[in-house]
Structure 1
Amino acid sequence: MEPLSSEDLSAVSGQGGVYLSGDITINDNGGPLNIDGPTANGYNWQADCSGSSDDKRCGGRIAVNSGTAGGWLVLDNIRGRFSFEGLTLRTRKIDSDFNGDGAAFNSDVFEIGLPNNLNYEDASFTIANSNSARPTDPGFMQTDIMTVNINGTANLQGNLLIFPTGAP
């Protein structure tokens, strides 16, 4: 290896980006159980989530406010193993194609290159709507829409492009 002079370095071109692989396990051995809210000793721990109980909170929770009226879209009780290889993140300039709209757009987008395989092992989550982000909030009510259980591999292809928008 040799150092490059400024002149030589100015002639070098390349691409920037990130290549990611991951293996994520969420609450494989249980999770927090909160029936009455926080206690002086913190939350109780539920070591076995396989039984049936309406009070269990054995997985992760993501709540997104769906509007100014206060409703929440929820992914609840997220647990299991998720793994992938080859997720890429980079910026890309769109200045052509898209039925002629690319030339008019002529700007950068954020590109997420999907991994070839997404592996699931005992993965599950519940899609729900709720009146609150946290189950510990007063008056909490949640309606579960469906629970998904996944084992196996999903084959993914393509890219997800995120386009910037103007100031609100």
Structure 2
Amino acid sequence: MIKNIIIRFALTACSTILLLASMSSHAELSSIDDEALSVISGQAGVYLSGEIAINENGGPIQNAYFGDCTDSKRCGARLAVQTKENGGWFVLDNFKGAFSFQGLTLRVRDINSGFGGDGAKFNREVLEIGLPDQIKVDKLQYTYATSSTARPTDLGFKQTDIYTVEIDGNVTLQGNLLVFPTGNN
């Protein structure tokens, strides 16, 4: 049960024109003449900043597996995925915490060269996700497990915890993630 997911994003187009318009003391947009516009440069794309908090205060579940999820012990969210019919479950359990980032960018990029010559053969546009330099992580934790059922309250529930992850601090990222389209377009 996910009791509380909070997602906050700030979207800003990567264009100096929008920055100048927002810095203007006027309540409405005003036109810019050609001379003023000639010194402004911009770039297409989206710049994202955001914060995602998942069950940062824990959830209310109480059962034989979790025990008492009261103020002294708060239980997190559970995500269970069954990869084949009548098979077992892969579980992210006791998932809670928050992370925030500033500077994730999205833009369309044309791939028509590079990649060892494969880019010329590809010759299409891709989605480029520019990774932010830092992601701030606030008490993010989860347990990776396998389970016989989707929920701890289901009949015959047995779970094997494989490992638990706890992250608190900054994660440094570098580079871009390219998302290639599929199909024949």
TM-score (norm: length of structure 2): 0.64
Cα distance per residue 1:13-42 (max 9 Å; x no partner): 952x32211222222322121428xxxxxx
Cα distance per residue 1:124-146 (max 9 Å; x no partner): 11112234444344433332110
Q: Matches of 1:104 and 1:69 in 2, distance apart?
A: 43
Aligned to 1:121: 138
The yes-or-no answer on 1:49 pairing with 2:73 is yes
Q: Matches of 2:112 and 2:85 in 1, distance apart?
A: 36
Q: Matches of 1:66 and 1:125 in 2, distance apart?
A: 20
- Corresponding residue SS for 1:122: strand
Q: Which runs of 5+ in 1 are unaligned?
A: 5-12, 37-43, 51-57
- Corresponding residue SS for 2:119: helix
- Cα distance, 1:69 vs. partner? 5.8
- Cα distance, 1:45 vs. partner? 6.3
The answer to whether the 8 Å contact 2:63/2:152 transfers is no
The yes-or-no answer on 1:144 pairing with 2:161 is yes
Residues paired across the two proteins, number:
144
Displaced runs of 4 or more, over 4 A: none
The yes-or-no answer on 1:84 pairing with 2:101 is yes
Matched residue type, 2:51: D
Aligned to 2:56: 28
The answer to whether the 8 Å contact 2:107/2:128 transfers is yes
- Corresponding residue SS for 1:30: coil
Aligned to 2:37: none
Q: Percent identity?
A: 54
Q: Matches of 1:95 and 1:87 in 2, distance apart?
A: 24
- Cα distance, 1:93 vs. partner? 2.4
Alignment of 1:127-166 (within 5 A): 127-166=144-183
CA separation of 1:119/1:96 partners in 2, compared to 1, >3 Å: closer, same or farther? same
- Cα distance, 1:47 vs. partner? 2.9
CA separation of 1:123/1:92 partners in 2, compared to 1, >3 Å: closer, same or farther? same
